[in-house]
Amino acid sequence: MQPLPSTTLQLTKSGAGTLTMPAGKNGGITVLGGAVKIAPSSGTLSVDNFLIVGSLTAQRGSIDIDNNRMVYHYDPAVTSGSPAIVDSAYFNLRDSVGGAYHGGLWNSPGLTSSMAINDPNKIMGLGYWDATALTGVTGSNTVIWFGQTVDKNTYLIAPTYLGDINGDGKVDGDDFTLIDRGKTKPNPTNSSGTALARMKWQDGDLNYDGFVTVADYAIIDKTFGILHPGGLSADFLAAREAEFGADYVSALLTSVPEPTGLGLLAMAGAGLAARRRRA
């Protein structure tokens, strides 16, 4: 299936069922019901807007990009202003992905990926980045990202590991550095001083709630433990226990499949017992 030619046409999908189409550039996609599925390995989907009708908890349709990438252009005129002004493009994207996320199952309506749905370890998801953060594009410049032209007013979306914060297809020390930085980055506040949910994937918000918390560390730690058998060493777990508590470590290890989880659970227990005897 060949990618669509460049077009400014708007696609509206209504009714039940799934419409399968190739990637390519179009003016926008609106899903009123059912699903729009981008054919696997068909390129990069580029849209000037997209809308999956419904709220975060009650979306009525899906866009499944499968193993393709997506470019989401937005109008900066509706995203500028003080931090208290709603960034409509950011919330549309984050809430659409967050709606599909469903605790890592990716089986709820929203912006999703069959790669994540079918991943047996449930460590795949959708990463999204400001084009500037991922490509360095600034000012009036443009760059080509996987066949599509992007500028600074663009979000880039791709299926990747939950925890691949810098978009290099891995989960390693660079990503842990970024989530540590994101945890200390202050959220903007409203007039009463309440923190606003404005963190992004590139800050370490891996569960799409707009904050960087212990829940995000659980996600990146689980992914790292599965991708790097033996990577969750006793020293690593001791540091996590000191930071987040023993309950966090136990929950993390039971979420990692055998043999990694059970073996390290025993190691962690032995390490904790030894430290208590020395105390």
pLDDT in tens, 12-30: 998 889 999 999 998 899 9
The CA distances from residue 65 to 44, 89, 112, 256, 269, in Å, are 9, 18, 6, 27, 42
Q: Is residue 61 part of a domain?
A: yes
Tokens 């914060």 sit on residue: 165
- 25 with 7: CB under 8 angstroms? yes
Length of the chain: 279
Among 43-57, 77-91, 167-181, which stretch is predicted with the lowest mean pLDDT?
Answer: 77-91
Residue 60 lies in a domain: yes
Give 16's Cβ-side CA count (13 Å radius): 0
Report the number of distinct structural domains present in the chain: 1
Residues 222 and 255: beta-carbon distance below 8 Å: yes
- Compute the Cα dihedral for 160, 163, 167, 168 and give only its sign: negative
Amino acid at 189: T
**Predicted local distance difference test score (pLDDT) of residue 86:** 45
**Position 62 in a domain:** yes
Q: What's the pLDDT score for residue 82?
A: 53
38 neighbors 23 (Cβ within 8 angstroms): yes
More confident residue, 84 or 184: 184
What pLDDT, on a 0 to 100 scale, did the predictor assign at position 121? 92
Which pTM value belongs to this model?
Answer: 0.87
Q: Which of 117, 110, 68 is nearest to 93 (CA)?
A: 110
Question: Which of 237, 155, 240, 247 is CA-nearest to residue 202?
Answer: 155
Among 75, 52, 77, which residue's Cα sits nearest to residue 63?
52
Q: Determine the pLDDT at residue 6.
A: 62
Q: CA-based angle 40:44:49, to the nearest 5?
A: 115
Confidence band (pLDDT; 50, 70, 90) for 188? confident
At residue 54's C-alpha, the angle toward residues 3 and 73, to 5°, is: 40
Question: What tokens appear for 153 in the block?
Answer: 């007013």
Mean pLDDT of 53-79: 80
Burial of 58 (0-12, 13-18, 19+ CB in 10 A): exposed
The radius of gyration of the chain from alpha carbons, rounded to an integer in Å, stands at 20
Residue 235, pLDDT > 50, answer yes
DSSP run (H or E) holding 272 = helix 260-278
Contact 80, 59 (CB under 8 A): no
Decide if pLDDT at 232 tops 50: yes
pLDDT band at 269 (very low <50, low <70, confident <90, very high): very low
Q: Is residue 183 part of a domain?
A: no
Beta bridge partners of 253: none
Instruction: Establish if 236 belongs to a structural domain.
Output: no
- The answer to whether position 141 is within a domain reads yes
What is the reported pLDDT for 276?
A: 38
Average pLDDT on 127-156 reads 96
* Predicted local distance difference test score (pLDDT) of residue 180: 96
pLDDT grade, residue 77 (50/70/90)?
confident
What is the rounded distance in angstroms from the CA atom of residue 57 to the CA atom of residue 36? Answer: 19
Q: Is residue 49 part of a domain?
A: yes
Q: Is residue 216 part of a domain?
A: no
Structure tokens given for 171: 């989960």
Structure tokens at 233: 């060493």
Q: Is the confidence at residue 274, as pLDDT, over 80?
A: no
Question: In whole angstroms, how far apart are CA 49 and each of 56, 62, 97, 224?
Answer: 17, 15, 15, 34
By residue range, what is the domain housing residue 27? 10-169
Tell me if 206 sits within 8 A of 162, measured CB to CB.
yes
Please tell me the predicted confidence (pLDDT) of residue 214: 93
If one counts every other C-beta atom within 10 angstroms of the C-beta of residue 151, the result is 17
| pLDDT, the chain, mean | 85
